[in-house]
A and B are shown apart, each in its own frame.
Chain A
Amino acid sequence: MTDATAQLPGAIPPGADRAAAPLRSSLYGDRIYQAVITAFAVFIPLLLILIAISIGIAAWPALSRSGLSFVTGSKWDVAAGEFGAAPAIYGTLVSSAIALILATPLALGVSIFLSEIAPKWLRQPVAFLVDLLAAIPSVVYGLWGVFVLIPLLRDPIGPFLSNTLGLGKTSLFSGPNYGYSMLAAGIILAIMILPFISAVTREILMAVPRSQREAALALGATRWEMIRDAVLPYARSGIIGAIILGLGRALGETMAVTMLIGNRAEISGSLFAPGYTMASLIANEFSEATNDLHLSALMAVGAVLFAVTLLVNAIARWLVWRVTRASR
Chain B
Amino acid sequence: MNRRARHTKSRVMLGLTYVAAAIATLPLLLILLHLVREGAAYIRPAFFTQMPRPIGEPGGGMANAIVGTLILISIASVIGLPVGIGAGLYLAERRGSLLATTVRFLSDVLNGLPSIVMGIFAWEFLVRPIGHFSALAGGIALGAMMIPLVTRTTEEMVRLVPVSLREAALALGYTRWRMSLTIILRTALPGIVTGALVAIARIAGETAPLLFTALGNQFWSTSLREPIAALPLQIFAYAISPYDTAHGQAWAGALVLILVVLIISVLARFATRSRFQAGSD
- Tell me the A residues contacting B by CB distance below 8 Å: 22, 25-26, 29-30, 32-34, 36-45, 47-48, 50-51, 54-55, 58, 105-110, 112-114, 117-118, 126, 128-130, 132-133, 135-144, 146-148, 191, 194, 198, 222-225, 227-228, 245, 248-249, 251-255, 259, 279, 282-283, 286-287, 298-299, 302, 305-306, 309-310, 313-314, 317
Contacts and interface: CB of A to CB of B under 8 A. Distances in A.
21 contacts: A40-B90, A44-B87, A45-B102, A48-B109, A54-B124, A109-B21, A130-B24, A136-B28, A138-B208, A143-B239, A147-B34, A147-B247, A222-B9, A224-B10, A252-B117, A255-B232, A286-B211, A286-B212, A302-B121, A305-B116, A310-B113
Chain B interface, DSSP helix/strand/loop, else mixed: helix
A47 B125 CA distance: 12
Contact of A259 (B147, B175, B240): B240
B202 A135 contact: yes
Given A223-B10, A287-B211, A132 B265 contact: yes
A44 B24 contact: no
Contact of B207 (A32, A37, A135, A137): A137
Interface string B225-259: 00000001001100110000001001100100110
A40 B175 contact: no
Interface residues of B, number: 91
Interface stretch (B11-19, B160-168, B188-196): B11-19
Interface stretch (B42-50, B52-60, B177-185): B177-185
A225 B85 CA distance: 45
Contact of A51 (B85, B89, B113, B265): B113
A208 B64 CA distance: 51
A309 B239 CA distance: 28
B254 to A, nearest CB: 5
A144 B124 contact: no
A41 B100 contact: yes
A44 B110 contact: yes
A54 to B, nearest CB: 5
Contacts of A34: 177
B106 interface: yes
A291 B146 CA distance: 32
Contacts of B20: 105-106, 108-110, 113
B100 to A, nearest CB: 7
Contacts of B125: 50, 54
A113 B205 contact: no
B99 A283 contact: no
A252 B114 CA distance: 5
Given A44-B103, A147-B247, A223-B14, A279 B120 contact: no
Contacts of B265: 132, 135
A143 B109 contact: no
A33 B176 contact: yes
Q: In this complex, which of B18, B19, B28 has the most chain A Cβ atoms within 10 angstroms of its Cβ?
A: B28
B27 interface: yes
A49 B118 CA distance: 13
Contacts of B93: 37
B117 A306 contact: yes
A143 B83 contact: no
A313 B114 CA distance: 11
For A36, A109, A227, A299, the residue with the greatest tally of chain B CB atoms inside 10 Å of its CB is A109
A259 B112 contact: no
B147 A140 contact: no
B206 interface: yes
Given A129-B28, A283-B211, A313-B112, A140 B102 contact: no
A141 to B, nearest CB: 8
Given A138-B208, A139-B207, A309-B113, A113 B17 contact: yes
A312 to B, nearest CB: 8
A211 to B, nearest CB: 21
A271 to B, nearest CB: 20
A309 B114 contact: yes
B25 A143 contact: no
B116 A126 contact: no
Given A37-B87, A54-B125, A313-B108, A255 B114 contact: no
